[in-house]
């Protein structure tokens, strides 16, 4: 099969379009004919070697976490899926989605929403689950609360705005000038153009600040958090690690870090929202698999609005 392979860590230049053997599935896995994948920042961070303490140095390595496609084989212990099912999900680190076929754990897969294309479904797993678990599980979001999403037009931010609205929150989205209309269309009640205003210098306070883009530290945000407010971010930076640990032992404002954990229950909940028209994805660009290097470079530029999809030819 064709796949994008790396033989060492480095820039996007290390990505190679090559022939590799199809994966052999374990009893609890599905073999999926991949129709679409997507680019998440974690993909190029793995490619650069930023997570090699986790991913190791076993090459060649196929990257890519999120995918959507058709089940062509099921393991002997699989009970929720059959051959022919249209599914989406996330493969385990370091990846395997940037390929014509991929092995997917049963508990990290879900039936594709009926009203989504393969490309749209492939953009969901990491980003939408991150938003859901950050707000619901870590932020303990409640109806009537005030929520600020910093990076509201990005891959995780687009879902965070919509999911916060589903939970009945009053949502402020922070983005650049060119994305104000998009964030408003996603349901934000208030929009801050970060090129014109620094939300940490505002007088408004929030129950939850979800810093998707990791541009403001917990210390920066404390004065605009309510007395029991919660700051959630996607990357445990040095500025946030110690204050976050200390905040767990001290009453008042908390700092937390989200790492999405795929599971059937949360996939089912996302499907309900999507099929009811309460949540949608936004795809900035779609690249063919052979042009993955360009897709990675675009993601690294931090100019993408919403998600970057990868189309994989049948």
Taking only the tens place, the pLDDT of each residue in 208-237 is 999 999 899 999 999 999 999 999 999 766
Number of domains in the chain: 2
Same domain, 37 and 138: no
Is 265 inside any structural domain? no
Model confidence at 238: pLDDT above 90: no
**Of residues 252 and 165, more confidently modeled:** 165
Is 276 inside any structural domain? no
Q: What is the mean pLDDT of residues 64-85?
A: 98
Q: What is the CATH number of the domain that holds 158?
A: 3.40.50.720
Tell me how far apart the alpha carbons of residues 171 and 165 are, in angstroms, rounded to a whole number: 7
Residue 250's pLDDT band (cuts 50, 70, 90): confident
Domain around 60:
2-124+281-311
Same domain, 11 and 109: yes
pLDDT of 252 = 84
**Contacts within 8 Å (CB) and 24+ apart, 17-26:** 17/289, 17/290, 17/292, 18/60, 20/60, 20/62, 20/99, 22/100, 22/101, 23/96, 23/101, 23/102, 23/103, 24/103, 25/73, 25/74, 25/75, 25/103, 26/75, 26/103
pLDDT of 216 = 93
Q: What is the mean pLDDT of residues 8-15?
A: 98
Tell me how far apart the alpha carbons of residues 157 and 175 are, in angstroms, rounded to a whole number: 9
Model confidence at 268: pLDDT above 90: yes
Is 274 inside any structural domain? no
83-102 pLDDT, tens digit per residue, is: 999 999 999 999 999 999 99
Percent of the chain with pLDDT over 70: 96
Model confidence at 151: pLDDT above 90: yes
Q: What is the CATH number of the domain that holds 32?
A: 3.90.180.10
Model confidence at 242: pLDDT above 70: no
Q: What is the mean pLDDT of the chain?
A: 95
Model confidence at 70: pLDDT above 70: yes
Same domain, 206 and 170: yes
């Amino acid at each position: 099969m064709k796949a994008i392979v790396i033989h060492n860590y480095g820039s996007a230049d290390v990505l190679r379009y090559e022939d590799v053997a199809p994966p052999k599935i374990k009893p609890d896995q599905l073999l999926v004919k991949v129709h679409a994948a997507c680019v998440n920042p974690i993909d190029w961070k793995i490619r650069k070697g930023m997570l090699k303490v986790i991913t190791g140095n076993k090459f060649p390595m196929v990257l890519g976490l999120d995918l959507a496609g058709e089940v062509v084989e099921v393991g002997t212990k699989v009970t929720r899926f059959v051959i022919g099912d249209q599914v989406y999900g996330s493969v385990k680190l370091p990846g395997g989605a940037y390929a014509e076929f991929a092995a997917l754990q049963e508990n990290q897969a879900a039936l594709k929403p009926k009203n989504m294309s393969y490309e749209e479904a492939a953009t969901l797993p990491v980003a939408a689950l991150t938003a859901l678990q950050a707000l619901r599980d870590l932020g303990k979001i409640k109806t009537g609360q005030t929520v600020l999403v910093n990076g509201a037009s990005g891959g995780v931010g687009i879902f965070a705005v919509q999911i916060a609205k589903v939970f009945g929150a009053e949502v402020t989205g922070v983005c650049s000038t060119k994305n104000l209309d998009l964030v408003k269309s996603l349901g934000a009640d208030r929009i801050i153009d970060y090129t014109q205003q620094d939300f940490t210098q505002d007088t408004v306070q929030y129950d939850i600040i979800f810093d998707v883009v990791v541009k403001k530290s917990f210390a920066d945000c404390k004065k605009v958090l309510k007395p029991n407010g919660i700051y959630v971010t996607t990357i445990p930076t040095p500025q946030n690690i110690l204050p976050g640990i200390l905040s767990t032992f001290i009453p008042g404002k908390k700092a937390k870090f989200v790492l999405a954990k795929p599971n059937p229950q949360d996939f089912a909940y996302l499907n309900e929202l999507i099929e009811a028209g309460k949540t949608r994805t936004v795809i900035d660009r779609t690249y063919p698999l052979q042009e993955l290097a360009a897709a990675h470079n675009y993601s690294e530029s931090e100019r993408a609005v919403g998600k970057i999809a990868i189309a994989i030819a049948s």
